[in-house]
Amino acid sequence: MRLRSWLCGAARFFAEADQSSLVPRAAKVGARSAAILFLVSGFWFLVSGCGYALVGRANLLPPNLKTIQVPSSVNRTTRVELERRVTQAIAQEMVSRGRLSLVSTPADAGAILRGAIESFGLTPVAFNEEGRATRYQVTVAARIELLDHRNEDKVIWKNDQYMFNESYSINLQLGDAFDQETRAIQEIAVRFAESVVTSLLEGF
């Protein structure tokens, strides 16, 4: 709200400068253009960069919501066991936050968090002198929704294009690149879970 008020105040300033008889015509045009550019930039600053769709208020869960179930995520990628790693990480992160109690059945759940992993990308981004990859960029795209199970599964929070990026390095001297990749993906699942739960409990 303060930023919006500041932008409005700036617009009034430029408008007054434009109306002043002491300012030459060229300066008036410049002031008008600057005001428009300033306001447009401010507007995009306020509304861009989120990339998510919300239903309700993402930064305020219902105060009487106490329990949550996290069923296994749907894995639409070719990465084996990715859904298990992600689901376990989200469940553990929920428990560690202490805001909601984790339950195993829908009958005991006040809310249900459903997810589908749509894509998993692994791209080399750094190489050694021999041209072998030493660092990889991982990109995960997912669909996530939080449902109020007490109210006919009404959507509380939803994101159909949840994007997560992380990178990890490979030490080629160790000779166990596959094991390093497996450990790295586990770490990425944990960080992905932290990001999702933060979005649910604290908002963007």
Residue where the block lists tokens 């859904």 = 83
Instruction: For residues 105 and 152, state if they share a domain.
Output: yes
Task: Say what the pLDDT of residue 127 is.
Answer: 93
CA dihedral of residues 173, 177, 183, 187 (deg, nearest 10): 80
User: Per the domain annotation, does 52 fall within a domain?
Assistant: no
Residue type, 102: L
User: Per the domain annotation, does 56 fall within a domain?
Assistant: no
Residues of the chain with pLDDT under 50: 1-8, 10-59, 204
Instruction: For residues 35 and 82, state if they share a domain.
Output: no
Instruction: For residues 162 and 122, state if they share a domain.
Output: yes
Instruction: For residues 182 and 122, state if they share a domain.
Output: yes
Instruction: For residues 169 and 74, state if they share a domain.
Output: yes
Task: Say what the pLDDT of residue 26 is.
Answer: 41
For the entire predicted model, the pTM comes to 0.66
As for how many domains the chain has, the answer is: 2
Closest to 136 (Cα-Cα) out of 195, 101, 67, 182: 182
Task: Say what the pLDDT of residue 173 is.
Answer: 82
Q: State how far the alpha carbon of 97 is from the alpha carbons of 27, 64, 104, in Å.
A: 56, 17, 17
Instruction: For residues 25 and 102, state if they share a domain.
Output: no
User: Per the domain annotation, does 188 fall within a domain?
Assistant: yes
Instruction: For residues 34 and 76, state if they share a domain.
Output: no
Instruction: For residues 98 and 41, state if they share a domain.
Output: no
Q: Which residues of 63-88 are buried (b: 16+ CB within 10 A; e: fewer)?
A: eebeebbbeebebeeeeeebbebbbb
Q: State how far the alpha carbon of 143 is from the alpha carbons of 41, 75, 102, 114, 158, in Å.
A: 30, 11, 21, 8, 8
Instruction: For residues 77 and 160, state if they share a domain.
Output: yes
User: Per the domain annotation, does 59 fall within a domain?
Assistant: no
Check residue 49 and give left, alpha or beta (phi > 0: left; psi -120 to 50: alpha).
left
Structural domain boundaries enclosing 100: 67-202
Task: Say what the pLDDT of residue 63 is.
Answer: 85
Do residues 188 and 85 make contact, with C-beta atoms less than 8 angstroms apart? no
Task: Say what the pLDDT of residue 118 is.
Answer: 97
Instruction: For residues 81 and 111, state if they share a domain.
Output: yes
C-alpha–C-alpha distance, residues 90 and 87, integer Å: 5
User: Per the domain annotation, does 61 fall within a domain?
Assistant: no
C-alpha–C-alpha distance, residues 82 and 76, integer Å: 10
User: Per the domain annotation, does 125 fall within a domain?
Assistant: yes
Q: Could you give the residue ranges of the DSSP H alpha helices within 48-176?
A: 82-97
Instruction: For residues 118 and 167, state if they share a domain.
Output: yes
Instruction: For residues 31 and 100, state if they share a domain.
Output: no
Q: State how far the alpha carbon of 142 is from the alpha carbons of 83, 93, 145, 203, in Å.
A: 11, 17, 10, 17
Task: Say what the pLDDT of residue 203 is.
Answer: 62
H or E element that contains 13: helix 2-19
